[in-house]
Amino acid sequence: MTPMTITEKILARSAGRDVVRPGDNIWVNIDVLMTHDVCGPGTIGVFKQHFGQDAKVWDREKVVIIPDHYIFTKDAMANRNVDVLRSFVKEQNIKYFYDVGTKDYKGVCHIALPEEGHTRPGEVLLGTDSHTCTAGAFGEFATGIGNTDAGFVMGTGKLWLKAPPTMRFIFHGNMPPYLMAKDLILAVIGEIGVDGATYRAMEFDGDGIFALNIEERMTMCNMAIEAGGKNGIIAPDQVTLDYVNARNAGQRPYQVTKTDPGATFMYEKVFDVTKMEPVIAKPHSPDNKANVSEVKGTKLDRAYIGSCTGGKLTDFKAAAAILKDKTVRIDTFVVPATTQVAQSLKTEMIGGKSLEEIFLAAGAKMGDASCAACLGGPSDTFGRLNTPISCISTTNRNFPGRMGHKEAKVFLASPMTVAASALKGEIADPRDCVV
């Protein structure tokens, strides 16, 4: 047996081969294809152009459609995109569609996918969104693809893929209370750069990773693409299986897959989390790393807590613990990733108050579950940076214009750092709030 990494093993299984080596080009069978309101219409156009107006998708239960980006807007083109999805779902009898304005609406696709049971170990999940890599947290191969590839997958259920080599990032030690997964992944990206993992698998390993809950593991994998990674991945353990088994849509069987002893990694880096500090990415790149202590005191105009990276329940719990019984000094926007997270904000309590009560009492503004200002969006998007202000955000990208105005400055940080900064109106160290 040739030892393989988890990524190589999953690709080998889905290609029907015994062994896959980095660089091999293979036909892969796809387990789930996800698309959303921004790329769905383009994908559908490619599918119809090449397979015919009357063509049917390869499997109506394996195409998952989640409108989430430009949802709560008066923008006519954005609304039309969702209409295109609706008519396609009807025409194709797609089983899993989380339509806005209905009880099925979920919000951000990368959080909705696991919540609704579409992420399983050992599978191949493709999505028309670069942060599809988030699902690697469930021990599967998950990556973003373009509309052309997605149109082909819609028609055939297959894709021609090159197997990536694997970089391994090992985290050891007990996580200090002032650090979150966001600090760890920003440290990785700062270390290797935004192109440091281009077309490579990023495997996260070590007791420091397996001590993280599933949402924090999602944060790690979510930002693999910010280093150019083809996929981010964490081997499944009992935490993963408990989460997946409680949700598995259609109760599909899946195969737990792990890296073989002796597998080859083209790069390895070990981090001691006990020695790490809160990290921030300064404008205008996720690899423009500084320790928070180095930029403490930088004036801010806005704080934003949301997105697939920093809009999960774990993120809001961490932020609320800091904001409780205090008042923010700058505009602070809170956007739950999904309706399920939004519901949990009403029921999850700290010291007798719900997280929602804590945020509102602190003076934060709360929006509906969606991508909201993470990607800027139409000018009426909740939280969008419409003027050249400075914002600290739990999101994943800070390129010019990403959250709206091209001259706005965006600092990326953990929910703890963002909450601590919202209280001061300047970049603040969560160690000053959390013992």
Of residues 6 and 66, the one with the C-beta less far from ligand SF4: 66
Residues 244, 209: Cα–Cα separation, whole Å:
18
Burial (CB count <10 Å: 0-12, 13-18, 19+), residue 83: exposed
Stretch that binds ligand SF4, among 145-153, 180-188, 245-253, 369-377 (CB under 6 A): 369-377
Of residues 202 and 371, the one with the C-beta less far from ligand SF4: 371
Residues in Cβ contact with 382 at an 8 Å cutoff, skipping those fewer than 6 apart = 72, 333, 335, 365, 367, 368, 370, 372, 373
Residues 320, 314: Cα–Cα separation, whole Å:
10
- Give, as one character, the DSSP assignment of residue 75: -
Backbone angles phi, psi at 67, to 5 degrees: -65, 130
Backbone angles phi, psi at 221, to 5 degrees: -70, -35
Of residues 109 and 153, the one with the C-beta less far from ligand SF4: 109
Residues 142, 156: Cα–Cα separation, whole Å:
18
The verdict on 320 binding ligand SF4 (CB under 6 A) reads no
Of residues 220 and 235, the one with the C-beta less far from ligand SF4: 220
What is the smallest separation between the CB atom of 294 and ligand SF4, expressed in angstroms? Answer: 26
Of residues 241 and 375, the one with the C-beta less far from ligand SF4: 375
CB 26 within 8 Å of CB 17: yes
Of residues 89 and 218, the one with the C-beta less far from ligand SF4: 218
Closest CA to 256 of 264, 245, 268, 247: 245
Applying CB under 6 A, among 4, 46, 108, 137 the residue interacting with ligand SF4 is 108
Q: Which two tokens stand for residue 124?
A: 């191949």
The verdict on 308 binding ligand SF4 (CB under 6 A) reads yes
The verdict on 374 binding ligand SF4 (CB under 6 A) reads yes
Applying CB under 6 A, among 145, 371, 413, 433 the residue interacting with ligand SF4 is 371
CB 215 within 8 Å of CB 317: no
Cis peptide preceding 110, ω within 30 of 0? no
Of residues 107 and 430, the one with the C-beta less far from ligand SF4: 107
What is the smallest separation between the CB atom of 130 and ligand SF4, expressed in angstroms? Answer: 7
Q: Which two tokens stand for residue 172?
A: 């050891």
Stretch that binds ligand SF4, among 81-89, 291-299, 343-351, 371-379 (CB under 6 A): 371-379
Of residues 31 and 226, the one with the C-beta less far from ligand SF4: 226
What is the smallest separation between the CB atom of 73 and ligand SF4, expressed in angstroms? Answer: 14
Closest CA to 108 of 222, 232, 247: 222
Residues 140, 249: Cα–Cα separation, whole Å:
16
- Which SS3 state, helix, strand or coil, does residue 174 take? coil
Residues in Cβ contact with 16 at an 8 Å cutoff, skipping those fewer than 6 apart = 29
Strands 158-162 and 25-29, sheet pairing: antiparallel
The verdict on 396 binding ligand SF4 (CB under 6 A) reads yes
The verdict on 131 binding ligand SF4 (CB under 6 A) reads yes
What is the smallest separation between the CB atom of 34 and ligand SF4, expressed in angstroms? Answer: 11
Q: According to CB under 6 A, which residues from 67 to 106 bind ligand SF4?
A: 69
CB 415 within 8 Å of CB 392: no
Stretch that binds ligand SF4, among 6-14, 107-115, 254-262, 282-290 (CB under 6 A): 107-115
The verdict on 375 binding ligand SF4 (CB under 6 A) reads yes
Q: Which two tokens stand for residue 303?
A: 């704080």
Of residues 20 and 313, the one with the C-beta less far from ligand SF4: 313
Applying CB under 6 A, among 8, 37, 129, 183 the residue interacting with ligand SF4 is 129
What is the smallest separation between the CB atom of 189 and ligand SF4, expressed in angstroms? Answer: 15
Stretch that binds ligand SF4, among 23-31, 256-264, 323-331, 370-378 (CB under 6 A): 370-378
Q: According to CB under 6 A, which residues from 33 to 52 bind ligand SF4?
A: none
Of residues 84 and 375, the one with the C-beta less far from ligand SF4: 375
Closest CA to 134 of 275, 310, 315: 310
Residues 328, 420: Cα–Cα separation, whole Å:
9
The verdict on 307 binding ligand SF4 (CB under 6 A) reads yes
What is the smallest separation between the CB atom of 110 and ligand SF4, expressed in angstroms? Answer: 6
Stretch that binds ligand SF4, among 108-116, 210-218, 323-331, 383-391 (CB under 6 A): 108-116
| Through-space distance between the first and last CA atoms of the chain, rounded to whole angstroms | 49
By the criterion CB under 6 A, which residues form the site for ligand SF4?
69, 108-110, 129, 131, 307-308, 371, 374-375, 395-396
